[in-house]
Amino acid sequence: MLHEGNKTIDEARQGEAVMREAIRPNGKKLLLESYGCQMNFSDSEIVVSILSDVGFNTTREAEDADVVLMNTCAIRDNAEQRVRNRLNYFRSLKKKRPHLVVGILGCMAERLREQLLEEEKLVDLVVGPDAYRDLPNLIEQVHGGQKAVNVLLSREETYADIAPVRLDDNGVTAFISIMRGCDNMCSFCVVPFTRGRERSRDPESIVLEAQELFNQGYREVTLLGQNVDSYKWNMTSKGEIKDESRPTVNFAQLMEKVAAVSPELRVRFSTSHPKDMTDDVLHAMSRHENICKYIHLPIQSGNNEVLKNMNRGYTREWYLERIAAIRRIMPDCAISTDIIAGFCGETEAQHADTLSIMEEVQYDMAYMFKYSERPRTLAERKFEDDVPEEVKGRRLQEIIDLQMECSRRRTERMVGHDYRVLVEGTSKKSAEMLYGRNSQNVVVVFPKGNLKPGDYAVVHTSECTATTLIGTVVSQ
């Protein structure tokens, strides 16, 4: 039995439901905006749950809000600039409504707390990713005339006992956070400094959350972690057992536990790390039809010297062996990646190595960026950001152009085949068309008929755009 303090999780959540009924709304409205990765959006659902328990209702209008919170990303400079622009708007709004509380959460909060609070005076409270439980107290501090800060990082906090308030619109797909933090010290990345050390969430609480989502009508969950392949429950980072009385669980075993909730519940995950992905994970995926055949496996660069400078922990050859294992065990698996153009010291020949690995792997999709130096990272301390911006831009465009061609080829190869699609909603282009994704994460558009979000349909594809399949339903 899973325990939370002296209570089981079931008992804790029953008590939580009663408490919510007993608390009268305090008349306060919360506007919560999320930026950056899926983990931030998942964290926002935890924040709303915590604040709803003390009477806050959510709003989409800043002019109606009593508290504005921004859940932020610090991984790239342009993300920070978007947040700063928004904070300047809230500062102007605060001049008209002095009671408005403006706060910043997440990665950017931890990194820029003094600057945002004292130097620029853009916010009233700053809360790091491991301190969301303290939000009600911190808001009260602000009401009392104080600035409020809690950016302490934790080696234990996973929020496993908090039932997130789902903020998605479709009621079909949901995120489940399975771990927090990161132990990989990639030289370009701020995450270990802003989210702390890696810790895994109790698997029973994850399976329970998946079961509850399925009971509520959700038909797809995405298991989230900075590096899901290093998920280890009841194990140290060295593989030693923490508690001999409890079973150990790795990521492959966790996926199978979640997949066993129901064959009608699809399971996805993000993100994998090439140095940690084992064949056990691939075989677990191949054994379960409802574990989607899609892996996001960031390469970042195709050159070994650049990979070493990035401190990625693998070589080009190791990465290609992992790709070969995926293709061997799951020939129909789609693969996407992350690529950084213009990392410190990158030469034209090294850039060419990235283009060549893209040609070799033929990625289905990629997230592609110019290198953006981040404060406090190893790259900032050790390397010079010496690739000119115009060169970064040109290299990035070459990467984008090649990936668009790879994606087009991928989509064209899928035309003429049948795919089981989970209906997610109405197409933006036509009210008579629905859209969903197949197991390989490709969007498929088809006539509505009598289908609705949450249904499954087998769609025969007959045409495509560069990234979207179009077809007709052949069975339900």
DSSP string, 368-403: EEE----TTSHHHHHS---S-HHHHHHHHHHHHHHH
> What is the pLDDT confidence band of residue 11, given thresholds at 50, 70 and 90?
very low
> What is the pLDDT confidence band of residue 37, given thresholds at 50, 70 and 90?
confident
> What is the pLDDT confidence band of residue 20, given thresholds at 50, 70 and 90?
very low
Is the pLDDT confidence value at 111 over 90?
no
Q: What is the pTM of this model?
A: 0.85
Superfamily of domain 418-475: Nucleic acid-binding proteins (2.40.50.140)
What are the residue ranges of helices labelled H in 151-278? 191-195, 203-215, 251-259
Amino acid at 475: S
Mean of pLDDT values over 148-159 = 87
Q: What is the pLDDT of residue 227?
A: 93
CA distances to 59, 74, 176, 438, 465 from 442, rounded to whole Å, are 32, 29, 21, 6, 11
Q: What is the pLDDT of residue 348?
A: 98
List the domain boundaries for the chain: 3-150, 173-414, 418-475
Q: Which of 82-91, 278-287, 434-443 has the lowest mean pLDDT?
A: 82-91
Report the chain's mean pLDDT, rounded to a whole number: 89
Is the pLDDT confidence value at 206 over 60?
yes
Is the pLDDT confidence value at 276 over 70?
yes
C-alpha span between 335 and 322 (Å, rounded):
11
Q: What is the pLDDT of residue 190?
A: 82
The CB density around residue 397, as the number of other CB atoms within 10 Å, is 13
Q: Which of 90-104, 115-129, 243-257, 390-404 has the lowest mean pLDDT?
A: 115-129
Cis peptide before 271 (omega within 30 of 0): yes
Three-class SS state of 428: coil
> What is the pLDDT confidence band of residue 259, given thresholds at 50, 70 and 90?
very high
The DSSP bridge pattern shows strands 249-250 and 232-233 to be antiparallel
| CATH class label, 3-150 | alpha beta
Q: What is the pLDDT of residue 17?
A: 32
> What is the pLDDT confidence band of residue 22, given thresholds at 50, 70 and 90?
very low
Mean of pLDDT values over 193-198 = 84
Amino acid at 126: V
Mean of pLDDT values over 151-177 = 87
Instruction: Name the more confident of 306 and 106.
Output: 306
Mean of pLDDT values over 262-284 = 96
| CATH class label, 173-414 | alpha beta
Instruction: Name the more confident of 247 and 310.
Output: 310
Mean of pLDDT values over 38-63 = 90
Mean of pLDDT values over 77-89 = 81
